[in-house]
């Protein structure tokens, strides 16, 4: 079932969204100061491309908190609101509810990408 959901997600916009996150990561990495933020964009790009069957686990470190605050001030709040709005639109239809739930995961990640680890529960492996 997850394979079908992921394939449908990619066709209905996941590929474009993932590509945009990847391009944003490249643009951020071109500047020296924003390289850590670009690396987080690459992590999000991989997650957004194939999100079903994965979950997010957070680690608590003070440097992650500082980077997350900077991220939210400059990039995160717009991305989180966009993901939240798109998730609500998906949830209006019964068929779109699983896609809306994934968008809510993206909103959470858009607020706090640093310290987030994406895992596949069945395999118990981390994706970094």
Domain limits, the chain:
2-118
User: Comparing C-alpha atoms, which of 72, 76, 98, 74 is closest to residue 87?
Assistant: 98
Q: What is the DSSP letter of 116?
A: E
Q: Looking at the whole model, is its pTM more than 0.75?
A: yes
Averages of pLDDT over runs of 10 residues in the chain (128 residues) are 87 86 91 90 90 85 86 85 89 90 89 86 60
pLDDT of residue 35: 92
Who's near 69: CB < 8 A, 6+ residues apart?
A: none
The predicted pLDDT at position 95 comes to: 87
For residue 10, the 8-state DSSP code is I
pLDDT in the model for residue 26: 94
Quick count: other Cβ atoms within 10 Å of Cβ 115?
A: 16
State the pLDDT at residue 30.
95
């Amino acid at each position: 079932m997850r394979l079908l959901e992921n394939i449908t997600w990619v066709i209905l916009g996941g590929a474009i969204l993932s590509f945009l996150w990847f391009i944003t990561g490249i643009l951020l990495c071109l500047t020296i100061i924003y390289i850590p933020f670009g690396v987080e964009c690459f992590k999000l790009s991989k997650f957004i491309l194939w999100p079903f069957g994965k979950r997010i686990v957070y680690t608590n470190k003070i440097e992650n908190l500082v980077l997350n605050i900077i991220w939210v001030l400059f990039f995160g709040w717009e991305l989180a609101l966009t993901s939240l709005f798109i998730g609500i639109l998906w949830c209006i239809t019964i068929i779109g509810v699983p896609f809306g739930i994934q968008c809510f995961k993206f909103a959470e990640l858009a607020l706090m990408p640093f310290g987030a680890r994406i895992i596949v529960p069945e395999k118990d492996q981390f994706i970094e």
